[in-house]
């Protein structure tokens, strides 16, 4: 039998320990037929075989983005990006140009507005935004999506200018005049304004409430599906063949299922059941376990539970063991009590559902590790592959507990201040110098035996995996006496391929290039091993294949 696709003259990094390198690969159907030398594999080409000359470039297993938000990221592709914008004048010009180009939007939304977008010391208020645009509702969102700023008319129309109780860990920041000052912290505070957008804020429901929209017209649903298709195509264009979403609701799952059944998903999707602190424990068996049974294919799976334990450091909603360095007496407030989270982790694991928890501060990380220990004590030691997402700071006492509990470190090389265009402040001041060595401590955790996966948290950070890999390899310590947390190129690639597949319990069929495995492949524009770390982001995918189907083909003539 002839192969359908043969890629040759390549530098193949298979990520397979037994056969780490090859020159050519043959695909047939949705599986890898053979991997080996050029002469051997070319004999598998027939008259109908597509033969691709890689020109000496790297070929890898398709990238597996282990932490992202597909609906929010897809929507953000059509919104104003303030990435790299600095200063009031630059902000004003960008917003006014966007407003002029979009006269009919009910809410103007801008993304990636840095906390220090005005200056290193001045925090944004509604008064600043009113000076830019006062007659149309406008809201801009921080890169981490945990803080937003809205102008007065947006606050007024959202019904929150006078403030409102938005629950534990959320805050509508109030000014000295008794009115909201424009800063909205966490999803419950942001949602009232977000619902005025053209999408009705539906893209935020999976992460904000864990619920579904109350009413969606057929036209709105069709529009949302088209938005998702654009986001999925964007993923494929970046060499991504799998992603693990970190917000989930039935609405998103059913739209993705429809895309798969009508035209085919160009990327494999793993979605969670999003558990919030107000949901009954019975939801895990009645809903999460049911979703796992309903969505269980190699293209679309819903087989884990996602939670938030805290917020973000810059918004002062992350939870630390000790006080914030700049704010004595404040450690942050967890979204779950220790007892409540222990119960969730224990019950989810009993039902065979792994758990992934957003935990930024070392206090939140400790609470999650405590919960995983409680699960082990209650259920016995099982292969649960539980995760902690972000781990921006870890207490030194808790570092060995990752290996002891089998907890995966899911981290983002695009997030350390000073990387990916992010400013150092106010982050470094907020955590304090004593915590610096244990911040974004990838290598320390790996050296202590933890398994690690890398991702971007898109749209919090730019999605291209090659840019993220570049950030991972070029990160600089914040001071000369700080540890160097960089991993090697091959460790970094494993965190984007082989280990990410293992986290999904799919290591028996993807994440490496070997015969019989799923045909998920990316061909790069050059040799990644011969490229300096500083220039890796200049490489690009020229061919992406998912499930044996070409999902992206770029220029370059190959």
Using H for helix, E for strand and C for coil, what is the string for 388-415? EEECCECCHHHHHHHHHHCCEEEECCCC
**Domain 79-208 classified CATH 3.40.50.1820?**
no
Q: Is residue 57 a contact partner of residue 554, using CB atoms and an 8 Å limit?
A: no
Other residues' Cβ atoms within 10 Å of the Cβ of residue 110: 22
pLDDT of residue 181: 96
* pLDDT, mean over the chain: 96
Lookup result for tokens 């419950």: 188
Biggest alpha carbon distance in the chain?
A: 78
pLDDT of residue 558: 35
Q: Look at residues 289, 324, 318, 302 and name the one whose alpha carbon lies nearest to residue 254.
A: 302
Q: Look at residues 404, 405, 305 and name the one whose alpha carbon lies nearest to residue 358.
A: 305
Q: Look at residues 256, 305, 260 and name the one whose alpha carbon lies nearest to residue 285.
A: 305
- pLDDT 10s digits, 12-67: 999 999 999 999 999 999 999 999 999 999 999 999 999 999 999 999 999 999 99
Q: Is residue 174 a contact partner of residue 181, using CB atoms and an 8 Å limit?
A: yes
**258: pLDDT confidence band, cut at 50, 70 and 90?**
very high
Pairing of strands 108-111, 138-141: parallel
pLDDT of residue 535: 98
Q: Is the pLDDT of residue 432 over 70?
A: yes
Element (DSSP H or E) covering residue 27: strand 24-28
Which residues on adjacent β-strands are paired with residue 272? 304
The average pLDDT across 119-135 equals 95
Residue 63, helix vs strand vs coil: strand
**557: pLDDT confidence band, cut at 50, 70 and 90?**
very low
User: Which value, in Å, is the radius of gyration of the alpha carbons in the chain?
Assistant: 23
CA–CA distance, 220 with 112 (Å, rounded to integer): 26
- pLDDT 10s digits, 158-209: 999 999 999 888 999 999 999 999 999 998 999 999 999 999 989 888 887 7
The answer to whether the Cα torsion of 328, 331, 332, 337 is positive or negative is negative
Q: Is the pLDDT of residue 556 over 80?
A: no
Lookup result for tokens 């790297």: 58
| Phi (first) and psi of residue 444, to 5 degrees | -60, -45
pLDDT of residue 555: 66
Q: Find out whether the peptide bond into 414 is cis, omega within 30 degrees of 0.
A: no
Domain 3-62+513-553 sits in CATH at 2.30.40.10
Q: Where are the domains of the chain?
A: 3-62+513-553, 79-208
Residue 19, helix vs strand vs coil: coil
| Phi (first) and psi of residue 411, to 5 degrees | -130, 165
CA–CA distance, 419 with 410 (Å, rounded to integer): 17
CA–CA distance, 32 with 27 (Å, rounded to integer): 5
The answer to whether the Cα torsion of 507, 511, 514, 520 is positive or negative is positive
pLDDT of residue 385: 98
Q: 21: which 2 tokens?
A: 């390198």
CA–CA distance, 431 with 327 (Å, rounded to integer): 10
Residue 216 half-sphere exposure, CB side, CA atoms within 13 Å? 21
| Phi (first) and psi of residue 477, to 5 degrees | -60, 150
Q: Look at residues 549, 543, 477, 532 and name the one whose alpha carbon lies nearest to residue 237.
A: 543
The average pLDDT across 207-213 equals 82
pLDDT of residue 204: 85
CA–CA distance, 400 with 471 (Å, rounded to integer): 26
- pLDDT 10s digits, 320-335: 999 999 999 999 999 9
Q: Is the pLDDT of residue 296 over 70?
A: yes
Least confident range of 162-166, 242-246, 361-365, 440-444:
162-166
Measuring CA to CA, how many Å separate 292 from each of 250, 282, 301, 303, 333?
A: 11, 15, 7, 5, 31
**120: pLDDT confidence band, cut at 50, 70 and 90?**
confident
pLDDT of residue 371: 98
CA–CA distance, 504 with 135 (Å, rounded to integer): 48
- pLDDT 10s digits, 62-95: 999 999 999 999 999 999 999 889 999 999 999 9
CA–CA distance, 441 with 392 (Å, rounded to integer): 8
Q: Find out whether the peptide bond into 372 is cis, omega within 30 degrees of 0.
A: no
Measuring CA to CA, how many Å separate 33 from each of 7, 43, 51, 114?
A: 12, 12, 14, 47
């Amino acid at each position: 039998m002839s192969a359908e696709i043969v890629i040759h003259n390549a530098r193949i990094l298979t990520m397979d320990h037994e056969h780490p390198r090859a020159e050519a690969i043959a695909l047939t159907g949705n599986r890898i037929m053979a991997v080996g030398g050029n002469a051997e594999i070319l004999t598998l080409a027939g008259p109908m075989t597509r033969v691709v000359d890689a020109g000496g470039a790297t070929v890898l297993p398709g990238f597996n983005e282990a932490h992202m938000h597909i609906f929010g990221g897809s929507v953000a592709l059509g919104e104003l990006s303030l990435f790299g914008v600095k200063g009031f004048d630059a902000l004003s010009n960008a917003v006014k140009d966007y407003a002029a180009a979009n006269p009919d939007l009910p809410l103007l939304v801008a993304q990636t507005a840095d906390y220090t977008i005005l200056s290193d010391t001045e925090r944004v208020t509604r008064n600043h935004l009113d000076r830019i645009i006062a007659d149309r509702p406008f809201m801009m969102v921080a890169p981490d999506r945990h803080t937003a700023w809205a102008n007065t008319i947006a606050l007024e129309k959202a019904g929150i200018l006078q403030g409102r109780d938005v629950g534990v860990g959320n805050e509508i920041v109030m000014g000295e005049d008794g009115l909201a000052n424009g800063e909205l912290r966490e999803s419950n505070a942001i949602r009232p304004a977000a619902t005025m957008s053209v999408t009705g804020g539906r893209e935020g429901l999976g992460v904000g409430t864990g619920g579904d929209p109350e009413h969606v017209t057929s036209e709105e649903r069709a529009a949302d599906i088209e938005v998702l298709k654009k986001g999925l195509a964007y993923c494929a264009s970046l060499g991504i063949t799998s992603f693990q979403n970190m917000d989930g609701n039935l609405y998103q799952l059913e739209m993705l299922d429809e895309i798969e059944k009508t035209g085919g998903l160009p990327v494999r999707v793993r979605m969670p059941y999003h558990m919030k602190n107000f949901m009954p424990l019975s939801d895990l068996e009645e809903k999460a376990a049911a979703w796992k049974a309903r969505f269980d294919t190699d293209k679309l799976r819903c087989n884990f539970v996602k939670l938030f334990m805290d917020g973000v450091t810059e918004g002062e909603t992350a939870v630390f063991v000790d006080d914030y360095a700049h704010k004595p007496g404040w450690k942050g407030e967890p979204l779950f009590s220790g007892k409540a989270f222990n119960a969730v982790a224990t019950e989810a694991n009993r039902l065979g559902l792994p758990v992934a928890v957003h935990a930024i501060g070392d206090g939140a990380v400790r609470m999650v590790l405590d919960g995983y220990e409680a699960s082990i004590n209650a259920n016995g030691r099982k292969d649960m592959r539980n995760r902690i997402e972000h781990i921006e700071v870890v207490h030194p006492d808790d570092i060995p507990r990752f290996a002891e509990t089998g907890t995966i470190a899911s981290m983002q090389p695009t997030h350390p201040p000073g990387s990916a265009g992010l400013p150092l402040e106010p982050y470094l001041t907020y955590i304090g110098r004593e915590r610096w060595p244990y911040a974004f401590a990838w290598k320390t955790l790996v050296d202590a035996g933890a398994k690690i996966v890398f991702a971007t948290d898109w749209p919090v950070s730019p999605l291209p995996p090659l840019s993220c890999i570049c950030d991972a390899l070029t990160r600089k310590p914040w001071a000369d006496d700080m540890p160097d947390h960089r991993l090697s190129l091959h460790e970094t690639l494993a965190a984007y391929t082989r280990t990410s597949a293992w986290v999904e319990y799919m290591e028996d069929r993807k994440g490496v290039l070997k015969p019989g495995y799923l045909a998920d492949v990316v061909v790069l524009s050059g040799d990644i091993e011969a490229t300096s770390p500083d220039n890796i982001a200049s490489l690009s995918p020229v061919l992406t294949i998912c499930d044996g189907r070409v999902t992206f083909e770029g220029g370059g003539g190959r």
